[in-house]
A and B are shown apart, each in its own frame.
Chain A
């Protein structure tokens, strides 16, 4: 079974802190994704990566950056957390084939005070 893990289920940070959200997948997938989920808005793509050291902006990249130094790990970074970044963050991975689904991690609920 594909497993996608995220470093924390719940996280509380203060405004202005630098926040790292880690995601690890164990299936050697090429593609990895970061979404945020807010009530009434569905899932919105923040960043994605097709390969190591490659990154592409999604629909809402402002205020975020990412890092992919190893194939299995994709990190989301909030350089200076703000209260409007309070949200649920979901990581996903996918094999290269187009018919393949994305496999999601359990999510991180981030609260920025």
Chain B
């Protein structure tokens, strides 16, 4: 069974608008962590934001926030005030309890237009 699902293969947004990238996950563990990464066309993976399953508040890092809905098993990334440099591939990933390995979704390509 797929552990991480990103249903949007691609998204378009205009500069300065907000955009939400969807991520749902599947785990039977109570303790887990959720990550979002950005991959520009150059190829490097850049860590954006982390949410622990026991964290009481939704994570935020600058223009990035994570809309964590535990009961629905969703961890959507919200980018406020999109910039041209946000155009990239975005991956959601999960770490189950007891392991250091990450399971990645298939990614969402975000294109920001002027």
**Residue positions of A touching B, CB distance < 8 A:** 31, 33, 35, 40-45, 48, 50, 58, 88, 90, 92, 94, 96, 98-99, 101-107, 109
Contacts and interface: CB of A to CB of B under 8 A. Distances in A.
Contacts of A41: 106
A48 B91 contact: no
Contacts of B35: 101
Contact of A48 (B37, B97, B100): B100
B1 to A, nearest CB: 13
B91 A107 contact: no
Interface of B: 33, 35, 37, 42-45, 47, 50, 52, 91, 93, 95, 97, 100-107
A98 B104 contact: no
Given A43-B104, A50-B100, A107-B43, A99 B91 contact: no
Given A43-B91, A107-B43, A99 B101 contact: no
Contact of A98 (B47, B100, B106): B100
A99 B106 contact: no
B24 to A, nearest CB: 14
Tell me which of B91, B101, B105, B106 has the highest count of chain A C-beta atoms within 10 A of its own C-beta: B101
A90 B45 contact: yes
A42 B50 contact: no
Contact of B33 (A50, A90, A99): A99
B45 A96 contact: no
